Amino acid sequence: MTTFHGLQKGSHVSGSQPLVVHITGARPNFPKAAPVIAALREFPLTQLLVHTGQHYDEKMSEVFFRQLGLPEPDVNLGVGSGAHGAQTAAIMIGLEELFTDRRPDLVVVYGDVNSTVAAAVVAVKMGIPMAHVEAGLRSFDRTMPEEINRLLTDRISDLLLVTSVDAIAHLGHEGAAADSIHFVGNPMIDTLLRHLDSLDTEGVAAAVGVDASQPYVVATLHRPGNVDDPADVAELVKSVHAVADQVPVLIPLHPRGRGRLEEAGFMDHPQLSVIDPLGYVEFLGLVKGAAAVVTDSGGVQEETTVMGVPCLTLRPNTERPVTITHGTNQLVRRDTLPAAVAEVLAAGRQATWPVPPLWDGHAGPRIAEVLAGHLGLTRS
């Protein structure tokens, strides 16, 4: 059910100021939106924060708002989980009602989740200008739902805000107008750098039963290609158990696929600890002290790149190749994962490593400048 906080239904939020609506819905969106919202406060406009409720677990959403200093969402659509079509449709229905009631001057979407593409379709059909933060990323794997969301959102966006040079090339090859593309850097890295020095690795490791002075591996696994098919699950369990033979493994287990992993005996290893999903600062604290991270997530590839933590991405491709060329990431298969972990453990953490251009903690202000310029605004 749609809920409205602190706003009269049927009223325009701002009066004479332009209205910018931010759409968030899943855990990866929140650290991307936070620095943009903060930077836009310097301009004479009104902001409305919408949480679609695509991630509804407290550890997957609400705790992020508290830790990142985001305001309480003005609107929560509360769509919850469900099949892609049903979830996307529910978000579209709620947003169409909202945009009709309070017409935005600009809609800002983040990343590649169902909330992103749903908001994009509603906005463009209603003739509302739209900006896509993290545009142009491509895995070239159309079996990934996120790849479809990325392609569709970029085709209909007015402003394409990109995090890496390869994304500019992808958009150019697809025919995007050059003046719609803006290389701004990575706002999720703004959030990471803001919290980096205060991350409590020892404290969170102790809380989950790990000695931070000894090597450990953090794993995040939830992609359909790893956890949907029983044969893939069986191979994954064998592979991760082979890693746990070498080093303790901690896995904050995503609700998606948990049942299949449990049935396949995933938890039946003395050095593998399954824990509940963590808050933003707790998770990054754990990652910061890890000997390596095993993941099939996109954002974790970026965070480890900046922190210098070896990252083994358990996928055949990545939409973030810059984390391989300018970071600590490498692609691995399930059958090669144990050997790759052994190599990382033997080599240890690098003293220095390359970081992608403009991943410097100032993407939020650069994005705000582009959005405000589109609205014809200067700082108040």
* Residue 90 near residue 77, CB atoms below 8 Å: yes
Question: Which helix (H) or strand (E) segment is 347 a member of?
Answer: helix 337-347
Burial of 199 from C-beta contacts in 10 A (0-12 / 13-18 / 19+): buried
HSE-CB for 232 with a 13 A CA cutoff = 14
Please count the residues of the chain.
380
What is the rounded distance in angstroms from the CA atom of residue 81 to the CA atom of residue 97?
Answer: 20
Sequence-distant contacts of 193-201: CB under 8 A, at least 24 apart = 193/306, 193/360, 193/361, 194/35, 194/361, 195/280, 195/281, 195/284, 196/284, 196/288, 196/307, 198/281, 199/281, 199/284, 199/285, 199/288, 200/281, 200/285, 201/285, 201/286, 201/288, 201/289
Cα separation of 53 and 167, whole Å?
28
* CB neighbourhood size of 22 (10 A): 28
Of the residues 12, 195, 222, 241, which is catalytic?
222
- 134: Cβ–Cβ under 8 A, 6 or more apart, which residues? 32, 110, 111, 112, 161, 162, 163, 186
Clarify whether 132 is annotated catalytic: no
- Coil, strand or helix: which one is 237? helix
What are the φ and ψ backbone dihedral angles of 353, each rounded to 5 degrees?
Answer: -160, 155
Laid out side by side, the sheet with 3-4 consists of 3-4, 75-76, 46-51, 19-24, 106-110, 130-135, 159-162, 181-183
Residues carrying an active site annotation: 222
